Amino acid sequence: MAEKKPHTLLIVESPAKAKTIEKYLGPGYTVMASIGHLIDLPKSRTAIDVEHDFEPEYITVRGKAKILKELQSAANKAGHVLLASDNDREGEAISFHLQNALTKKNPRLAIERIVFNEITPSAIREAVDHPGKIDMEKVSAQKARRVLDRIVGYNLSPILWEKVKNGLSAGRVQSVALRLICEREKEVESFIPEEYWTLAVELSKGKARFTAQMIRVGDKKNAAEARPGEDAPPADRGDMRSRQDIHDLMRRLENEVFTVSDIKETERSLKARPPFTTSQLQQTAANRLGFTSRKTMSIAQQLYEGIAIGGGRIGLITYMRTDSTRVSALALEEVRKFIGETYPDGLPAQPNSYSVAKSSQDAHEAIRPTMVSYTPESVKAYLSKDQERLYSIIWERFVSSQMTNAKTKTLSVDISAADALFRVSYTKTTEKGFQAALNVLASKETGKKLPALKVGEILVKEKFLPEQHFTTGPARYTDATIVKTLEEKGIGRPSTYASIISVLIERYYVERRNRQLIPTQLGRTIYGLLINSFPDILDVNFTAGMESLLDRVESEGADWVGMIREFYGPFKQKVEYVSETLQSMKGTLDEETDFVCEKCGRKMIKKLGRFGFFLACSGFPECRNTRSIPLADCPKPGCGGKIVARRKQKGRGKEFYGCTNYPDCDFISHFKPTSSTCPKCGWFLVEKSDKKRGTYKACINKDCDYLHTAAEDEEAFEQKVEDQ
């Protein structure tokens, strides 16, 4: 153990973390924060010397000189410095640059590196007692990634400025994510839904009623027997699909006897899920809590850095950027003791083990509570609502991961009527196992408890329940599904998933609507240009391969200079060729309209801007008048205004829709108007979405019950064709 100096300066990344750690260490230690990177590449130029091994030119980050000076002064007074930035590539680079900046002022300064996976008194003391050196392979890996991303971004962005619009930018990984979202949108738009019908029957035995789904007539199967994940049986199977099929069958079965023909019981053993990795946490928080990836990581950071509980601060979870499900021996011992005391029936004889993905760097443990004794209920009073919800799923997932399997029993009853076969099932949990620890993550039981039945028993038919359906196409990406796809394809890393989505939204290449990620017209334009001009950059396999090479720099000390040199030559040639030959697209998206400028009387032009389309006067630059594009007429009697899109906080807030006559007219809508009007009241229709019906149209008038159904859409389309 290194001899402790009289006074030690410990430098972390964030003030919140500094506040927590300083209370643990007490006298003899000063804890200060660098607040992220102090030394980095300048934003104004590429700053990569391509002629001399791609050496980056680092400077003090603008606005950070004062912080650096304060750290240098404190370091000189202390004489001993511990660098405690995050234990990942970015954190290692921060420590490396800090070490260089501090020794430049004081070459004799004693500087050491400490790392920890959780912010608890024992973990911090352990780290302080066993300092080490900076991991130069991690530093090289961060440098390689930074250099590669800078070369790609600072060469592609000027092409977009010149050929499309000033102020645009392109990134190496973000552009691939944009490609995935744009191509999924093409699939969504080209999908043509097909109608199909299912049939259920309500049956009774005494006072008990239940519903059975029709699965087969003779050798023809119904949609109720579709495979998991299949909307309906494929058309080439000649199955019962049409309305006429179902109604003919109902007439034929009207007077038939419904008899129990078979009863089966099956048992299943369900294993708990492993503790969270970063991507799994983001996916589960999106699906269960409705959080964006950025929100999830922001709240996780708060839980990691420390929450004031009682008389002190404590980090409630371990480091939240990880791709491993590994858990320390100490944590396993603690959680098994907790399970034995709290859920004795759920403690397995041996700890559960989970495989680590081949692509995992396994640098950190899984995300888990630092102490399982801090149950969600016990810390609820100290947490915000969102902190409590996120902490709850982390705690539940970790504790349940070390518990016994849950067991279920499914009763499946087949009911025959002539040559038609109906089926009803009910599943109940026979042993809770790991499910005893679940609350927020608990799954709802499906099916209704059945009365006692036996083979040959005749049931009473109460009524038929025919139902119309439409096949659904591919779903748009959400935060959860894009993160899952990026992880599966090896694009990006745990620390980058949230920022990839955020950057696309901030650039207005993608918008989030009803939790779905939808490419804007600007995003589609950028995608089209890049895929045609730089197919390699947008190639999923190429990008995943580059990620693997960058990982090798850290794990094997691979030659990153040679790797980037091999990439740079052909890439630079392509950039020069595209810059010279690509036809400018500036102005090609502009469209003249019939709207007249209220200031000068000239025609308004529909233009694509930072936050979508808007109207601008054709008399620019003499007339600089702009306004939002009207989406509908204001429905308030006598108003005469137009409904336009608005945003709070100078374009960065959530979009809503209001009247142009504001403040004289205060009409607003939080749903986007469509081009259709309500046939009942004349107000405009809006697009809504919910879990039960998916996306649908409804009247904005709260006093009108009009719903715009698929059948009415088809009728309106047919009428339009006839009129033409």
Give catalytic residues, as residue numbers: 319
Scanning 490-605, the segments in alpha helix (DSSP H) are 497-506, 521-533, 540-556, 560-581
Helix (H) or strand (E) holding 8: strand 7-12
- Asked if residue 209 lies in contact with residue 200, where contact means CB atoms within 8 angstroms, the answer is no
CA distance 269 to 266: 10
Q: Which residues contact 670 (CB under 8 A, 6 or more apart)?
A: 656, 657
CA distance 378 to 340: 19
Dihedral angle at the C-alpha atoms of 513, 519, 520, 522, nearest 10 degrees? 160
Classify residue 514 as left (phi > 0), alpha (psi -120 to 50) or beta. left
SS3 content of the chain, % helix, strand, coil (to 5): 40, 25, 40
CA distance 638 to 288: 45
Q: Which of 289, 291, 293, 260 is nearest to 278 (CA)?
A: 293
What is the per-residue DSSP string for 40-79? E--SSS--EETTTTTEE--EEPTT-HHHHHHHHHHHHHHE
Task: Tell me the β-bridge partners of 342.
Answer: none
CA distance 261 to 414: 6
Token duo for residue 538: 């947008």
Q: What would you measure as the largest C-alpha separation in the chain, in angstroms?
A: 98
Q: Which residues contact 354 (CB under 8 A, 6 or more apart)?
A: 274, 275, 325, 401
- Asked if residue 178 lies in contact with residue 524, where contact means CB atoms within 8 angstroms, the answer is no
- Asked if residue 455 lies in contact with residue 261, where contact means CB atoms within 8 angstroms, the answer is yes
Q: Which of 720, 641, 716, 651 is nearest to 673 (CA)?
A: 641
Quick one: DSSP state of residue 120?
Answer: S
Phi, psi of 405 (to 5 degrees): -65, 150
CA distance 458 to 551: 66
CA distances from 100 to 94, 135, 330, 396, 688 (A): 10, 14, 36, 43, 56
Q: Which of 196, 24, 61 is nearest to 710 (CA)?
A: 196
CA distance 611 to 634: 23
Number of alpha carbons in the 13 Å side-chain half-sphere of residue 596: 4
- Asked if residue 501 lies in contact with residue 296, where contact means CB atoms within 8 angstroms, the answer is no
What is the per-residue DSSP string for 350-370? S----PPPTT----SPPB-BS
CA distance 497 to 518: 17
Distance of CA 269 to the CA centre of its chain: 30
Q: Which residues contact 240 (CB under 8 A, 6 or more apart)?
A: 197, 199, 214, 217, 220, 221, 222, 223, 246, 249
- Asked if residue 315 lies in contact with residue 304, where contact means CB atoms within 8 angstroms, the answer is yes
